[in-house]
């Protein structure tokens, strides 16, 4: 059975125009497949974060095409891109962006409140995610009562609340020690297994990149190699 590409990039170029134009991507062609865990690594300025923002539809390519589940987002108006993003894509960032005054459970519920999901239903969804990720013991804790690694794991749970097909993570372990980083990466693996989520992680750390089933090496705005 052929693998289904969830993301397709065809000759994607990105130029940032200022006093001196900066070419961030120089013609990237790449497929990412359903249920894959992919790491994108490279030195600072290699284009890896730009590539992630384009995959996440937060930025448009200067040239080329990007398809999400077969839909060419480069041809869609902004409102339709936002709708597609909300349907398919979840984000996890380097800073956890949790709301300090809310418990872990309430933080996970936040995106469901924005969608108008009734309280009883969103509570059930949030508790189920905590259970499936092995995080139920954190449900009542506030961010100030959690370690950095625990906060990042709750941020992953919150990203999963909208049931995204694709989870994008930008340097998710950059602020963590080695032991906490491993626990966070194990949570990504569990999300992939439990929810069938495609996971794409940008990192400059080789030990974190090693979690990827495919490792995409970026240099100077191009894919140097894939292994």
Tens of each residue's pLDDT in the chain, 227 residues: 457 899 999 999 999 998 999 999 999 999 999 999 999 999 999 999 999 999 999 999 999 999 999 999 999 999 999 999 999 999 999 889 999 999 999 999 999 998 899 999 999 999 999 999 999 999 999 999 999 999 999 999 999 999 999 999 999 999 999 999 999 999 999 999 999 999 999 999 999 999 999 999 999 999 999 99
Separation of first and last alpha carbons in the chain: 22
Report the b/e string of 204-214 with b at 16+ CB within 10 A: eeeebbebbee
What sign has the CA pseudo-torsion 90, 60, 76, 113?
A: positive
Cα angle 93, 95, 98 (rounded to 5 degrees) comes to 95
Pick from 140, 137, 143: which is nearest to 155 by CA?
143
Q: How far apart are CA 191 and CA 140, in angstroms?
A: 21
User: What tokens appear for 16 in the block?
Assistant: 């940032």
- Residue 98 pLDDT: 96
Q: Which residue has the tokens 């134009």?
A: 21
Superfamily of domain 5-226: P-loop containing nucleotide triphosphate hydrolases (3.40.50.300)
- Run of H or E residues at 136: none
Element (DSSP H or E) covering residue 11: strand 5-16
């Amino acid at each position: 059975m052929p693998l289904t590409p969830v993301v397709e990039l065809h000759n994607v170029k990105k130029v940032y125009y200022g006093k001196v134009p900066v070419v961030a991507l120089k013609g990237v062609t790449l497929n990412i497949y359903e249920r894959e865990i992919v790491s994108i690594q490279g030195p600072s300025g290699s284009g890896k974060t730009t590539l992630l923002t384009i995959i996440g539809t937060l930025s448009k390519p200067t040239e080329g095409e990007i398809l999400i589940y077969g839909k060419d987002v480069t041809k869609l108006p902004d409102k339709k891109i936002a709708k597609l993003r909300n349907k398919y894509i979840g984000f996890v960032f380097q800073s956890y962006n949790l709301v300090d005054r809310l418990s872990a459970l309430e933080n996970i519920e936040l995106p469901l409140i924005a969608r108008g999901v009734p309280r009883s239903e969103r509570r059930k969804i949030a508790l189920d995610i905590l259970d499936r990720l092995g995080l139920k013991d954190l449900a009542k804790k506030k961010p100030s009562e959690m370690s950095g690694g625990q906060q990042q794991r709750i941020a992953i749970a919150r990203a999963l609340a909208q049931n995204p097909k694709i989870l994008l993570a930008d340097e998710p372990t950059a602020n963590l020690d080695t032991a906490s980083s491993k626990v966070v990466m194990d949570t990504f693996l569990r999300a992939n297994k439990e929810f069938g989520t495609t996971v794409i992680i940008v990192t400059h750390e080789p030990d974190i990149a090693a979690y990827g089933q495919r490792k995409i090496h970026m240099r100077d705005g191009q894919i140097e190699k894939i292994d």
